[in-house]
Structure 1
């Protein structure tokens, strides 16, 4: 019988706290009954929710704290006030202590990045964490990173993102050698910032066995599924993510309005209801909810703060998969295969400079 996957939840994180976290985890538990939960937060609020979900109650242990990180707190303030006492910190610390395989929070992104980095530390050779997420595309799913954990990045940082993103794609999609593209304003080699062009030269020179670098990818290539892994720095990655989510909601509103405009369109909708439901499901940002912080010596998943229970369940599903298929070990193996991928990057950079 396989060992159970233990997940640490910041039960007070996000816009709605335990009222979304507990029902969402309960949904995921039905899909993955070999899960156990450590729940950190206000015991009264958590247990009030658990009383509605007996299976979730039986699979959970509650650790009380009355300190929660506010959604608008500055990372430095949250780190000073909530270090070692907040529900967010305690969930991350459970991963550090080996009590859980993954920590999941819908709380303040900046605070989560700062606390995770301070508590878990970075993997050898990695300078900064990155938020990576599953992005639905026309040909399946892709991994896109960084979606806003940090801003900017030199060629070596982008190369590290490529290696870590490839590890994630390999684990989640079962790919032996994922394709990797660098997000850029054009596919021509002379376009883009110097850092992006240098990263392209590095990836070509390294010719890593664990990934297949295919070149630059423009913004529309993300949705087309131009590569299994799309790499960019956090500023442009976060803009791309928010633009895509906004476009999905805009199209959904257009469709809703068009279908209700006339009697004929309403009748047409009845005949095409299943097709429209499938389209709505594909475009639903909640079904892609949950970004993993890569580069840490542990697994931390960030859920959208305003998600509903179903959306939070998808974040828990993602955390479960990353633990069950040992994402952290895979990343370490890729970073250290044939010596060190990042040491190879340094050598390659010297060769092409």
Structure 2
């Protein structure tokens, strides 16, 4: 029920996903509105409506989650909690989705703060970079960024297929001495953690260069970066449309360039990525853009399925447990040495 084009475009994307991804979709929300949207489609396989009482509107605060226990986002999270579903996809109130996931699913043990991870295209064809956090945590501590780096590394390896991911810390300079107190302390922690393939600071110009596979930052900076990148992609596509010649020449040129333009759109249009994964909670949760239409919802469901198929939650849980064990041993050794 969330998003600027709900429920019509959400339903359309879900129908496509059920057909092309062989996924069983549970449509959570107002039954009558969803049924009205379904009537515009001749074929609706593997779709089930789950009734919910209301939704969290974009102008409402996350405190409404407690006042509306049967709101659609809460019902959807409960389906995962009860093992009736494997993932939640929402284009609604992102703060409500994150809060509901944290309250109803809980955090993975050892994860202090969930993080939203967004995939960006790079200058290298076929290569992407995942950036986290892009909005869940405005203020961060160094250990949060360390946890983000560990989770991003796992995602890069098992979902994006990068055998040896390169992790960077978003900063104002490459040198380890650059940045504010958070950046300086985080650099030391990332460099010391042998489970993180950290290669140093990433400047703004490095984000889309392809040099890094994972970049970590606090949610304030990450969200600004996300919105800026989305705007650049939209502007680039609009400029190309405007600069193509008018009339028959434009039609001929467009026909010739169509395959290339399609590939360009796939690389720079945020709708092609579908949404961002909420890392650190006990369940797969995809947060989509509020303006999402059917193609974006389809891609969001595809993203959820990839996370499920590659056991992202299970791998993060196991890796984090191992990291905690290593940290405990290191702390015990350090204390022993200082005592002697």
Please give the TM-score of this superposition, normalised by the length of structure 2: 0.91
- The separation in 2 between residues aligned to 1:53 and 1:284, in whole angstroms, is 26
Counterpart check, 1:87 vs 2:72: yes
- Give the distance between the partners of 1:348 and 1:312, measured in 2 at CA: 49
1:37 aligns with 2:22: no
* 1:247 and 2:232 aligned: yes
Residue 293 of structure 1 pairs with residue 281 of structure 2: no
3-state SS of the aligned residue for 1:61? Answer: strand
Q: Which 5+ residue runs of structure 1 have no aligned equivalent?
A: 1-11
CA RMSD, 1 decimal: 2.4
1:219-244 superposed Cα distances (whole Å, 9 cap, x missing partner)? 12111122111111100000001111
Out of 75, 82, 87, the position equivalent to 1:97 is 82
**1:175 Cα shift?**
3.1
Structure 1 equivalent of residue 173 of structure 2: 186
Match of 2:133 in 1: 146
In structure 2, what is the Cα distance between the partners aligned to 1:152 and 1:44? 41
Distance 1:53 1:266, change over 3 A: closer
Q: 2:287 aligns with which of 286, 299, 302?
A: 302
Residue aligned with 1:227, SS: coil
SS in 2 for 1:301: strand
Give the TM-score of the pair, scaled to structure 1.
0.88
Question: What is the match of residue 155 of structure 1?
Answer: 142
CA 265–343 in structure 1, closer or farther in 2 if over 3 Å, else same: farther
Structure 2: give runs of 5+ residues left out of the alignment: none
Distance 1:278 1:339 in 2: 42
Q: In 1, Cα distance between the equivalents of 2:206 and 2:329? A: 28
Task: Rate the CA distance shift 1:157–1:100 in 2: closer, same or farther, 3 A.
Answer: same
Q: Does 1:28 align with 2:17?
A: yes
Q: State the aligned residue count.
A: 334
Aligned residue for 1:340, secondary structure, equals: helix
Residues 172-215 of structure 1: CA deviation (Å, up to 9, x unaligned): 1223432111111111111111212211111211211xx41111
Contact 1:147 1:235 in 2 (8 A): yes
